[in-house]
Amino acid sequence: MTQNEKAAAAKKRNHAIMIAILILLFIFFISPFILVLINVFKDKADIVTDPLALIGAHGFTLKNFPEAMQKMDFFNVFKNSLIITVCATILTILISAMTSFVIVRNGKWKMCTAVFALMVASMVIPFQVLMVPLVSVYGGIFGLLNHRATLIFMHVGFSVSMATFMFHGAIHTNIPLELEEAALIDGCTRWQTFWKIVFPLLKPTIATVAIIDAMAFWNDYLLPSLVLTDKAIYTIPIATQQFYGTYSTDIGLVMAALVLAMMPILILYLFLQKYIVAGVTSGAVKG
């Protein structure tokens, strides 16, 4: 066997090992999701006795879904989650994109540099450090808790730094200044230049920020549980908590609630996933 043949065989062997490892990792990470899908169509007794069986002893059932939807008031909590997620995501994208544009195009201003440095530094502060004073200030002093608008405002505040960091890299790397100069020469204002030239070119980063923040807002439990106490404005993660009892838990209803909660964000991910890699890497390498 020649040296080239040995190298080719070693390359194929390494490739096969890598594929095998990736398959094992995929199975490991997807197994909880598969267990949820298997058990959501079983009775509670079948889930407890044999959770790995494809079909329970009492057969295939769909009763978990309507019962879970009724108990958690699904359409109301879905509406609340949708309003909060959509509003917070749109505001985060708009504020972050405009902020990063100002910072990048006015990089010589010390104030812009200081603001960007503070935003980057704030990303390392854990939410748990802030949640007690946050609730104390907004609830005890201002009495602003238990409102959807307050939760939206807090979501935007906690997510805008990361989004600005991503937009900053994308604008700095992928959008030439010459495009904006040409637009200004043609008579566009700075405002028109941003919306007509810069913002459309940020589509991959916008999609990435949208899916990351939408998933975070949709699935968040801790912050809504601190802010929202009225059942009329509960989000889906808080509503699913009522299926967990002190002495017993209806696993079938929990599984159904989890499937209902994950489907909208999964559909959004499938529509936007092709932009994610481009958006994450758009500001990674300076061209």
Contact 287, 171 (CB under 8 A): no
Assigned domain for 192 exists: yes
H helices of 40-147, in order, are: 44-49, 64-71, 74-105, 110-122, 127-135
Residue 233: both structure tokens together: 């404005």
Assigned domain for 51 exists: no
Q: What is the pLDDT of residue 94?
A: 95
Same domain, 78 and 150: yes
Same domain, 140 and 190: yes
Q: What is the pLDDT of residue 276?
A: 65
Residue 70: both structure tokens together: 């009724």
Contact 121, 165 (CB under 8 A): no
Please tell me the total count of domains within the chain: 2
Same domain, 143 and 187: yes
Same domain, 31 and 171: no
Q: What is the pLDDT of residue 165?
A: 92
**Rounded CA separation 101/171 (Å):** 7
What string of pLDDT tens digits covers the 287 residues of the chain? 677 777 778 888 888 999 999 999 998 988 888 888 888 888 878 888 887 787 877 778 888 888 888 888 889 999 999 999 999 999 999 999 999 999 988 877 888 888 889 988 888 888 888 888 888 887 777 777 888 998 999 999 999 999 999 999 889 888 888 888 888 888 888 888 999 889 988 888 898 898 889 989 998 988 898 888 888 899 988 888 877 765 566 788 888 888 888 888 888 878 777 766 665 555 444 44
Same domain, 118 and 204: yes
Same domain, 10 and 86: no
What residue numbers bound the domain in which 103 lies?
71-281
Same domain, 216 and 269: yes
Q: What is the pLDDT of residue 285?
A: 45
